[in-house]
Amino acid sequence: MSRQPCHDRSVFIAKLSFAIWLCTLVITVSAADIDWKKLEEKAKEYQEKQSGGKNIDVGGKSVNISIPSQPTGRNIDSSEQIVSDSDQRYISVHMKLANRHFSRKNYARAIEEVELVFERQPDHPGGRFMRAVIAGRLKDHVTAWHNITIARDKDPENAKIKSFIEKLKTVAPEPQKTVGVPGIFRPIPVSASEKAFDVIERLLKDQASHNIITMDFDDFVVDGTSEWVKVKIGCSSVVQKAGIVSALEKASGGRTEILSGPPPQGEEKLLEIKFEIPEMVVENKEVKPAADLREFVKLIAEETDVAISDTEERDAENKILETTYEIAARDFKTLNDFFRKMSPYAHKFRLISMKLAYIAGSQNIIWRCRVQVFYQMS
């Protein structure tokens, strides 16, 4: 009787040893089935496509499991804007106020109200029609054509819009090319500085730009009555050359010229190109002097939701302050919103560089930009 526990213990140990041996055999066989060479080739291929990350040890083999440190592109939504119920109510209130001021010939207040409408629905046909009529009465035919063209595109069968266009043609022929950028619903640019930003905003709305991750710009170059913008575009995959050229030509209303020759094998991701901004100068001829500049910039940055991380200032001649900003914005439209509010106080401004990036610790995409501004000081 006293030997039974020892016998049971021996049986248990034997069974446990067999189980351990069996598990070891299974693991060994499974590891043997892994094609380590193929796995390493896949890891190397992924590492070449992405940057950053680290190596980990798997079964005695070092395999890269990099997480991209830079986005490879953006999702571009080309669907028509949907106006929410709250926006509809907001638009209705401000259109009523605009109509009230318009009927009293208080055009300045009417313009203020329709501009609020455009913030919620940039192509609102009623608001654009009113803005065109006001511009026509003030004999500002360029602005009249700019707004009535947007209204016509939105509501082509509207009898009032058709009638106004026929009347406008009797005093100002319809321009072959509008000063503004098609599809960018902003006030008409008053300088090449403003229009260059509008052109880039329009390019980045085009599907051909989906894989653009960097853009580097040279300073404006004057050629007769035109300004030229040279840009080097970097993409995460093969550059959509034809689409980018087409988008730039339509947006700028001028010529484009590809500066880079046929790319060497493996370098199809780069494109060096310049585009023309015809019949415009880079300087704002009606620039306003800026007072308490730092506080003003801070308020505008908060209002437009951009983050300024670094600022460099250098005094120039004739009371002009040269400033360079490092700015992060969730999209290029937001950055352009910021500069359209700054523009009245800037002698000129330009992009230096842009890079697509992730917000630290997240997969949310932003543009990190370096820009140069020349302010007119009081």
Three-state SS annotation for 41-68: HHHHHHHHHCCCCCEEEECCEEEECCCC
**Mean pLDDT for the chain?**
85
What pLDDT is stored for residue 319 in this prediction? 81
pLDDT value of residue 13 = 59
- List residues bridging with 257 in a β-sheet: 274
Query: What are the backbone angles phi and psi of residue 182, rounded to the nearest 5°?
Result: -55, 135
The tens digit of pLDDT for each residue in 149-162 reads: 999 999 999 999 99
Longest dimension (CA), the chain: 122
* Residue 52 pLDDT: 44
Q: What is the phi/psi pair of residue 170, to 5°?
A: -70, -20
Topology (CATH level 3) of domain 283-378: Gyrase A; domain 2 (3.30.1360)
| Domain 85-169, CATH among 1.25.40.10, 3.30.70.420, 1.20.1250.20, 1.10.10.10 | 1.25.40.10
Q: How far is CA 245 from CA 36, 189, 216, 253, 255, in A?
A: 45, 21, 16, 12, 9
pLDDT at site 128: 96
What is the DSSP annotation of 191-210?
A: SHHHHHHHHHHHHTTSGGGT
Residue 376's pLDDT is what?
A: 84
What pLDDT digit, counting tens, does each position of 254-268 carry? Answer: 999 999 777 666 668
Q: What pLDDT is attached to residue 12?
A: 59
Q: How far apart are the first and last CA of the chain?
A: 109
pLDDT reading at 367 higher than 90: yes
Question: How sure is the predictor about 69, in pLDDT bands with cuts at 50, 70 and 90?
Answer: confident
pLDDT tens, position by position, 9-20? 555 555 566 566
Asked whether the predicted pLDDT for residue 45 surpasses 70, the reply is no
Question: Looking at residue 360, what is its pLDDT?
Answer: 83
155-201 pLDDT, tens digit each: 999 999 999 999 999 999 998 877 899 999 999 999 999 999 999 99
Residue 343 reports pLDDT greater than 90: yes
Alpha-carbon distance of 132 to 151, in angstroms, equals 9
Residue 310 clears pLDDT 90, i.e. is over it:
no
Residue 56 confidence (pLDDT) above 70: no
Model confidence at 35: pLDDT above 90: no
Is 191-278 a CATH 3.30.70 domain? yes
The pLDDT-based confidence of 271 (bands split at 50, 70, 90) is very high
Residue 51 pLDDT greater than 60, yes or no: no
SS3 321: strand
Give me the pLDDT at residue 206, please: 96
Q: Are strands 55-58 and 61-64 parallel, antiparallel or unpaired?
A: antiparallel
More confident: 339 or 315: 339
Q: How sure is the predictor about 78, in pLDDT bands with cuts at 50, 70 and 90?
A: confident
pLDDT band at 1; cut points 50, 70, 90: very low
Mean pLDDT over residues 239-251, rounded?
A: 95
Provide the residue ranges of all domains of the chain, joining segments of one domain with +: 1-33, 37-69, 85-169, 191-278, 283-378
pLDDT at 29: 42
Percent of all residues in the chain with a pLDDT value above 90, rounded to a whole number:
67
| Cα→Cα distances 77→162, 277, 317, Å | 31, 27, 44
Predicted pLDDT at 59: 52
Asked, colleague to colleague, whether 191-278 and 283-378 share their fold, the answer is no
Contact 147, 135 (CB under 8 A): yes
pLDDT category at 60 given cuts 50, 70, 90 is low
